[in-house]
Amino acid sequence: MDTIESVFTTIAETAPEIREGLVGRREYQEGENPSGEEQLAADVHADQLLEERLLAIDGVGSYASEEREEIVGDGSGLSVAVDPLDGSSNIKPNNTMGTIVGIYDAQLPAGGHDLIGAAYTLYGPITTMMTAVDDTATESVVEDGERHTVREDVSLPDEPTVYGFGGRVPDWTDEFTDYAREIESDSSLKLRYGGAMIGDVNQVLTYGGVFAYPALDSASEGKLRLQFEGNPIAYIVESAGGRSSDGNESLLDVDPDGLHGRVPVHVGNEGLIDRLEAALDD
Ligand SMILES: O=P(O)(O)OC[C@H]1O[C@](O)(COP(=O)(O)O)[C@@H](O)[C@@H]1O
Ligand SMILES: [Mg+2]
Ligand SMILES: [Mg+2]
């Protein structure tokens, strides 16, 4: 099995333990992650499991995660960049969460064009997984840590129907606000925002539409991290025939600003992202 497939298999095999490990780990603990955010015991538990399992894979030489300052490993072979638990603020209200992995054929921090594979697992009513390699996305149901393919060559529906925008409305820039008003008044689109990027992106990949966590007046780089969230999600959405943008260009073209650098994230149907870039260009 090649290293990319081994990473996907390891993420699927670890999913039940991460999911079961949520119980009893819903409290914030001492300390912050490198982005200055509080850490849940569940974040740290998932991070520890994934570091151990992924670094044990032949061909994986570096492990980095949003939960730890430094890269771990001997730097040989491929690098994996992980968001062990995306949407962890959703744990208390028992809403969706997920795990994201980007597989880079380069030392980190790296640009999106160094990605050779990406995946996420979604802990929803059931556990599903989206994997992307060689410009093709595949959706699986994960049962007892085993992947069962349910959608091959995933592609965004031509007629989009959902949108979800993060950040507080009063904090949106004027240009993004104009775009949001245009989207809200489009009768073919309805609001679907769950507070976990992975759940919101999976809706876009299922129904077609747009997800954004945009630049804010208070945070010009937005909230999401290029290495662990922006790049892998862009790789997956673009593999499904969609587009990604930091507001100006594909996220995969953005030069990394350190390991934990943030970036405005917009992903979805090509037409909706084209309209976003036009709106931000005004
Ligand atoms: O709470 P906010 O500001 O709406 O932010 C929601 C966003 O923050 C995140 O939860 C950040 O991810 P983490 O939970 O991995 O830190 C995204 O999943 C989500 O899109
Ligand atoms: Mg996240
Ligand atoms: Mg996280």
**Are the C-beta atoms of 280 and 176 separated by less than 8 Å?**
yes
3-state secondary structure of 209: strand
CA dist., res. 187 & res. 200, Å (int): 19
To the question of whether residue 190 is assigned a binding role by annotation, the answer is no
ipTM of the complex: 0.96
Q: Quick one: which of 226, 278, 232, 220 has its CA closest to 257?
A: 226
Tokens 């538990």 belong to 45
Q: Give the pLDDT of residue 18.
A: 96
Q: Atom 20 in ligand 1: which residue has the minimum CA distance? A: 197
- Amino acid identity of 265? V
To the question of whether residue 281 is assigned a binding role by annotation, the answer is no
To the question of whether residue 49 is assigned a binding role by annotation, the answer is no
Q: Give the pLDDT of residue 1.
A: 65
**Pocket lining for ligand 1, CB < 6 angstroms:** 37, 83, 86-89, 166, 195-197, 213, 223
Distance 78 CA to ligand 3 centre (A): 21
Q: Give the pLDDT of residue 151.
A: 98
Residues with Cβ within 8 Å of 149's Cβ and at least 6 positions away in sequence, in order, are 138, 139, 140
**Complete edge-to-edge strand list for the sheet that includes strand 127-133:** 72-73, 60-65, 78-86, 97-104, 115-123, 127-133, 136-143, 146-151
Cis, bond preceding 34 (omega within 30 deg of 0):
no
Query: Nearest-5° angle of CA 255, CA 241, CA 109?
Result: 20
Ligand 1 atom with the smallest distance to the CA of 66 is 15
Task: Report all structural domains of the chain as residue ranges with CATH numbers, in order of start.
Answer: 1-151 (3.30.540.10), 162-281 (3.40.190.80)
CA dist., res. 222 & res. 208, Å (int): 23
pTM of the complete model: 0.97
Q: Give the pLDDT of residue 50.
A: 98
**Are the C-beta atoms of 211 and 268 separated by less than 8 Å?**
yes
What string of pLDDT tens digits covers the 282 residues of the chain?
699 999 999 999 999 999 999 998 888 888 888 888 888 888 999 999 999 999 999 999 999 999 999 999 999 999 999 999 999 889 999 999 999 999 999 999 999 999 999 999 999 999 999 999 999 999 999 999 999 999 999 999 999 999 999 999 999 999 999 999 999 999 999 999 999 999 999 999 999 999 999 999 999 999 999 999 999 999 999 999 999 999 999 999 999 999 999 999 999 999 999 999 999 997
CA dist., res. 49 & res. 8, Å (int): 15
Structure token pair of residue 184: 């809200």
The best mutation among 67, 197, 202, 262 to test binding of ligand 1, ranked by most ligand atoms within 8 Å of the C-beta, falls on 197
Q: Give the pLDDT of residue 30.
A: 81
